[in-house]
Amino acid sequence: RRRFVCGVADGGIGIRRSLEKNPDLRKRVPYDWVAVELATRERVSGTQDSTRGIGLYGVAEDMRKGGRRLIIHSGIGWLQISEQIESQTRGTKPFPGTLAYASISA
């Protein structure tokens, strides 16, 4: 079975620190795994701009289709989204920045 696989990573500040820049979200992201899950919701962004926060949300929703999987790892937070697992978060070994892995059946 053919698959398209894409991985992207950076060594930036990570999702939790990015979301903490938004004063409305600071108290809602006590842990990296909470921040990673929250970042996949519509209109959630480290900015207070109401036109931001739709990109990762759109990707996460699209990855809930059959034969697809999305993994996001930021800090010690880990999130997996797929058709079989609506979403699963947990703490894990630290990753400095953010890593995203997408797998789609061709």
Residue 86 is predicted with a pLDDT of 66
The answer to whether the beta carbons of residues 92 and 77 sit under 8 Å apart is yes
pTM, whole model, 2 decimals? 0.90
Q: Which residues of the chain have pLDDT under 50?
A: none
Q: Which residues lie below 8 Å from residue 106, measured CB to CB, with a gap of 6+?
A: 1, 2, 3, 4
